[in-house]
Amino acid sequence: MSELLQYAVPRTDVDESAVRRTLRDQIAHLEGELATLFCSTYPRTGFEWNVRSRRGPRLLSIRELEELRDDLADRLQHNRHALGDRTYVEELNRRRIEEMMLAPEEHKWVRVRNEDIGEKGCKQWHVLPRFGPLGLLMNWWRVKISSGCPLAGGRGREPRP
């Protein structure tokens, strides 16, 4: 009877090399997508790009390959959502700049920095009264666009030794 049961259940052999190859291909694809996303978000900060170390060079088990693939997929999805949220806010800030330029009196004292629109640098748009206190009283407003970051060396001549 035990011989009959042994032959009744078909044995399925799993080709581990094919499974490993498929997992490695998936991991390579996810790493490529993560690298592409990194390049497209370059000036922005606050994203997690690191890939965990697997304790040096060695042959990973199928389970470890699956964990690595799942970790990369989760990180890629998280970074895509974070980038989507950030680009939405940056687009709103770009619109705000356009509105500030068209009607500065409706955006009194509003300041938008370059980093708020996803760019590097120190440039900023600031709605201020024209002619100081007189403009404040007369409701004359303008958008002052800064020239960017100050020089690293400071102002004036260098002191003599």
pLDDT single digits (tens) 116-155: 998 888 899 999 999 888 888 888 999 999 877 776 665 5
Q: Where are the domains of the chain?
A: 16-45+61-145
Tell me the pLDDT band of 161, cut-offs 50, 70 and 90. Answer: low
Phi, psi of 103 (to 5 degrees): -140, 75
For the stretch 121-139, what's the b/e string if a residue is b when 16 or more beta carbons lie within 10 angstroms of its beta carbon?
A: eebbbbbbbeeeeeeeeee
Residue 92: the pLDDT is 97
Tens digit of each residue's pLDDT (9 = 90 or more) over 57-94: 778 889 999 999 999 999 999 999 999 999 999 999 99
Task: Give the single-character DSSP code of 124.
Answer: E
For residue 125, CA distances in Å to 59, 82, 119, 121 come to 54, 25, 13, 12
What's the gap between Cα 66 and its chain centre? 25
Residue 147: the pLDDT is 77
Residue 142: the pLDDT is 93
Beta partners for 113?
A: 124
Tens digit of each residue's pLDDT (9 = 90 or more) over 4-44: 555 655 666 777 889 999 999 999 999 999 989 988 887 77
The pTM score is 0.67
